[in-house]
Amino acid sequence: MTQQTNFNGVYPILYSFFDQNGELDRNAMRRQVEGCIAGGAHGIAVMGLATEVGKLNVNERRKVIEWVGEDIAGRIPYAVTVGEGSVPGQIEFVAAAKEAGADWAILQPPAIMGVPESEYVRFLGDVADKTDLKLAVQNAPGVMATSLSNAGLKTLNKNHGNVCLLKAEGPATYIHQLMQDTDGAFDIFGGLAGIQFPDSLRAGCVGMIPAADIFDPQVRIYELMKNGNPKDIEEAERLHKELLPLLVFMMSSVENFIAYGKDLMAQRLGLDNGMARQPSVPVTEFGRKVVSHWAKQLGPLPGN
């Protein structure tokens, strides 16, 4: 595991919980933060797909980053994803994240296809020049509308040294090649719910940014892999194999993991408002039985 920063480990992406009136639920959001910290999270992240960021208005997005920063209160590192579609928008949101207590931010290339890669590099570089925060780029070839090549990422880091982390959404083979092509310039966090977590760590990842519902056994996997002795690695592989059926179920689609993953997180927190904001895929009776089975298997998060 290479290390360019002090950020590593498992950073669960929080869900957005809503009350019966459809408003963000302050108490539920606080309980989620406390559950993640008590469960051993190495950091916390927000504004990813699990946060249903596309269904939040700008005031709600600001409210989430402020609440979470207030509740973390510097106890563990805090990362905020920034997906605004303009340079001024991303600069403003990075500044707001920093004010709310974020330790680093995750930038997304603008979802505008058909422009030269140099424009994405310029866009992200212009944002990087306006902050002293450490920055990551979320790069998901074939998943997100736009992404950078390995060469483009290397150029971005060379010209803007604070862009020194990546959230790399891809298989372990992609991550390994990315590490080689960028000469280890980035601390890389894996994604894709950790479906290839042990191999991603072997490829050079410093951690993972999954949804919050099953982060705690993944914390255990990370710690065992980090220990590095054969017995611990064997145990990490065993735990990963136990989780694979659930990971496959969740990752059948983005909307599926938002709907069922939030339900799972709610059950583990002892909450009754685990419904995704509409529009959403329907949660079926059978699907809820699957989630309830896993909630019992995983158990409640500490303090719940």
How sure is the predictor about 177, in pLDDT bands with cuts at 50, 70 and 90?
very high
Q: Does pLDDT of 142 surpass 80?
A: no
For the chain, give percent helix, strand, coil, nearest 5. 50, 10, 35
Q: Domain total for the chain?
A: 1
User: Residue 288 burial by CB count (10 A; 0-12/13-18/19+): exposed, middle or buried?
Assistant: middle
Is 228 contained in some domain?
Answer: no
Q: What is the pLDDT of residue 1?
A: 47
Decide: 244 and 195 in contact? Cβ < 8 Å. Answer: yes
Is 281 contained in some domain?
Answer: no
Is 292 contained in some domain?
Answer: no
**246-264 confidence digits (pLDDT tens):** 999 998 888 899 999 999 9
Is 261 contained in some domain?
Answer: no
**237-248 confidence digits (pLDDT tens):** 999 999 999 999
Summarize the confidence of residues 48-71 as an average pLDDT.
96
Residue 147 tokens, joined: 């992404």
Residue 7 tokens, joined: 């950020």
Residue 205 tokens, joined: 């990842």
Is 267 contained in some domain?
Answer: no
How sure is the predictor about 120, in pLDDT bands with cuts at 50, 70 and 90?
very high
Is 104 contained in some domain?
Answer: yes
Decide: 50 and 13 in contact? Cβ < 8 Å. Answer: yes
Closest CA to 46 of 103, 125, 1, 130: 103
Residue 189 tokens, joined: 């966090």
Is 303 contained in some domain?
Answer: no
**79-90 confidence digits (pLDDT tens):** 999 999 999 999
Residue numbers of the domain that contains 114: 9-214
The rounded mean pLDDT for the chain is 95
Question: Would you give the DSSP letter of residue 167?
Answer: E
* b/e map 45-55, b = 16+ CB within 10 Å: bbbbbbbbbee
Q: Does pLDDT of 2 surpass 70?
A: no
Is 240 contained in some domain?
Answer: no
CA 183 to CA 185: how far, in whole Å?
6
Residue 106 belongs to a domain with what CATH number? 3.20.20.70
* b/e map 95-120, b = 16+ CB within 10 Å: ebbbebbbbbbbbbbbeeeeeebeeb
CA 209 to CA 8: how far, in whole Å?
10
Q: Does pLDDT of 4 surpass 60?
A: yes
